[in-house]
Structure 1
Amino acid sequence: MHNKQVIILGSAFAWLKQVMVGVLSTYFEKEGDFEVGVFEVEGDESGLAQFIEIHHPTYGEFVILMLTLVPHVMPNFFNEVIAEYLPEGGDFPAFGGVKGVHHRGILPTGETAQFILAGDDLEKRLVVQRILNNEHWFYRNRILWLEPTAEGEPAMSGRLVLDPELVELLTVGTVSKPRFSIDFPAEYIETEMTWDDLVLPPITLRQIREIEHWIQYNDTLLYDWGMKKKIKPGYRTLFYGPPGTGKTLTATLLGKQTGKDVFRIDLSRVVSKYIGETEKNLSRLFEKAENKDWILFFDEADALFGKRTEIRDAHDKYANQEVAYLLQRIESYNGLVILASNQRGNIDEAFVRRFQAIVHFPIPGPKERAEIWRKTFPAQIRIHKDLDWDKVASRYELSGANILNITHYCALQCLAGDVLLINLNRLETAIQRELIKEGKVF
Structure 2
Amino acid sequence: METNSPSFRALNPLAKFIGDRIKQHFDTPGGFTRELEAYFPDLFETSAQIPVFAQENSLKELENTLLCIAIAPHLQPDFYDRVIKGSLPLSGDFPQLGGTRGKNFRGFLPTGETALFLLAGDDMKKRMEVYELFSEDHVFAKKHILWLEEVPEGEPCMSGRIILSQECVDLFTTGKVARPKFSLNFPAQFLETKMDWEDLVLHPDTLQQINELEIWVKYGKILMKDWEMEGKLKPGYRALFHGPPGTGKTLTASLLGNKTGKEVYRIDLSMVVSKFIGETEKNLANLFAKAENKNWILFFDEADALFGKRTSVRDAHDKYANQEVSYLLQRVEHYDGLVILSSNFKNNIDEAFSRRFQSIIYFPMPGVDERVLLWKKAFPSKIQLANDINPYALAQKYELSGAEIINVVQFACLRALDRGEEKLIFNDLYEGIKKEFQKEGRIMR
User: Normalising by the residue count of structure 2, what TM-score does the alignment of the two structures yield?
Assistant: 0.94
Q: How does 1:183-332 map to 2 (within 5 A)?
A: 183-332=185-334
| DSSP-derived class of the 2:101 partner | coil
Q: How many residues align?
A: 437
Kindly tell me: are residues 391 and 158 of structure 1, through their superposed partners in 2, closer, same or farther at Cα, counting changes over 3 Å? same
Kindly tell me: are residues 266 and 53 of structure 1, through their superposed partners in 2, closer, same or farther at Cα, counting changes over 3 Å? same
Match of 1:423 in 2: 425
| DSSP-derived class of the 1:84 partner | helix
Kindly tell me: are residues 39 and 293 of structure 1, through their superposed partners in 2, closer, same or farther at Cα, counting changes over 3 Å? farther
Kindly tell me: are residues 154 and 177 of structure 1, through their superposed partners in 2, closer, same or farther at Cα, counting changes over 3 Å? same
Match of 2:18 in 1: 20
- Long gaps (5+) in structure 1: 1-5
Aligned residue identity for 1:303: A
CA distance in 2 between counterparts of 1:83 and 1:269 reads 45
CA distance in 2 between counterparts of 1:131 and 1:198 reads 48
Aligned residue identity for 1:33: T
Match of 2:108 in 1: 106
| DSSP-derived class of the 2:400 partner | coil
Q: Deviations over 1:349-376 (max 9, x none)?
A: 2321110000011111111111100111
| DSSP-derived class of the 2:246 partner | coil
- Per mean C-alpha deviation after superposition, the further-off stretch among 29-38 and 314-323 is 29-38
Deviation at 1:9, TM superposition (A): 3.3
CA distance in 2 between counterparts of 1:105 and 1:420 reads 62
- Per mean C-alpha deviation after superposition, the further-off stretch among 368-377 and 388-397 is 388-397
Deviation at 1:47, TM superposition (A): 2.5
Q: Deviations over 1:103-128 (max 9, x none)?
A: 11111111111111111222222221
Alpha-carbon contact 1:261-1:295 (below 8 Å) kept = yes
CA distance in 2 between counterparts of 1:155 and 1:330 reads 29
Deviation at 1:232, TM superposition (A): 0.9
Q: How does 1:429-440 map to 2 (within 5 A)?
A: 429-440=431-442
CA distance in 2 between counterparts of 1:185 and 1:195 reads 27
CA distance in 2 between counterparts of 1:27 and 1:266 reads 52
Kindly tell me: are residues 348 and 56 of structure 1, through their superposed partners in 2, closer, same or farther at Cα, counting changes over 3 Å? closer
Alpha-carbon contact 1:189-1:264 (below 8 Å) kept = yes
Match of 2:128 in 1: 126
Kindly tell me: are residues 46 and 440 of structure 1, through their superposed partners in 2, closer, same or farther at Cα, counting changes over 3 Å? farther
Aligned residue identity for 1:34: R
| DSSP-derived class of the 1:224 partner | coil
Matched, 1:33 2:33: yes
CA distance in 1 between counterparts of 2:88 and 2:12 reads 20
Match of 1:364 in 2: 366
Alpha-carbon contact 1:23-1:34 (below 8 Å) kept = no
| DSSP-derived class of the 1:101 partner | coil
Match of 2:407 in 1: 405
CA distance in 1 between counterparts of 2:106 and 2:389 reads 71
CA distance in 1 between counterparts of 2:225 and 2:34 reads 44
CA distance in 2 between counterparts of 1:12 and 1:338 reads 42
| DSSP-derived class of the 1:237 partner | strand
CA distance in 2 between counterparts of 1:305 and 1:85 reads 57
Superposed CA RMSD in Å reads 1.8
Aligned residue identity for 2:60: T
Q: Deviations over 1:324-362 (max 9, x none)?
A: 111100100000000000011212223211100000111
Deviation at 1:258, TM superposition (A): 0.4
Alpha-carbon contact 1:240-1:343 (below 8 Å) kept = yes
Deviation at 1:305, TM superposition (A): 2.0
CA distance in 2 between counterparts of 1:45 and 1:100 reads 26
Identity of matched residues, %: 51
| DSSP-derived class of the 2:109 partner | coil
Alpha-carbon contact 1:118-1:124 (below 8 Å) kept = yes
Aligned residue identity for 1:24: I
| DSSP-derived class of the 1:406 partner | helix
Match of 2:150 in 1: 148
- Per mean C-alpha deviation after superposition, the further-off stretch among 53-62 and 290-299 is 53-62
Aligned residue identity for 2:183: S
| DSSP-derived class of the 1:253 partner | helix
Deviation at 1:276, TM superposition (A): 0.8
Match of 2:8 in 1: 10
CA distance in 2 between counterparts of 1:11 and 1:50 reads 16
| DSSP-derived class of the 2:225 partner | helix
Match of 2:443 in 1: 441
| DSSP-derived class of the 1:168 partner | helix
- Per mean C-alpha deviation after superposition, the further-off stretch among 230-239 and 385-394 is 385-394
CA distance in 2 between counterparts of 1:414 and 1:43 reads 62
Kindly tell me: are residues 16 and 196 of structure 1, through their superposed partners in 2, closer, same or farther at Cα, counting changes over 3 Å? same
User: Normalising by the residue count of structure 1, what TM-score does the alignment of the two structures yield?
Assistant: 0.95
- Per mean C-alpha deviation after superposition, the further-off stretch among 150-159 and 421-430 is 421-430
Q: Deviations over 1:267-321 (max 9, x none)?
A: 3442111111110110000000000000000011111222221111111111111
Alpha-carbon contact 2:99-2:108 (below 8 Å) kept = yes
- Long gaps (5+) in structure 2: none
Match of 1:71 in 2: 73
Alpha-carbon contact 1:204-1:360 (below 8 Å) kept = yes
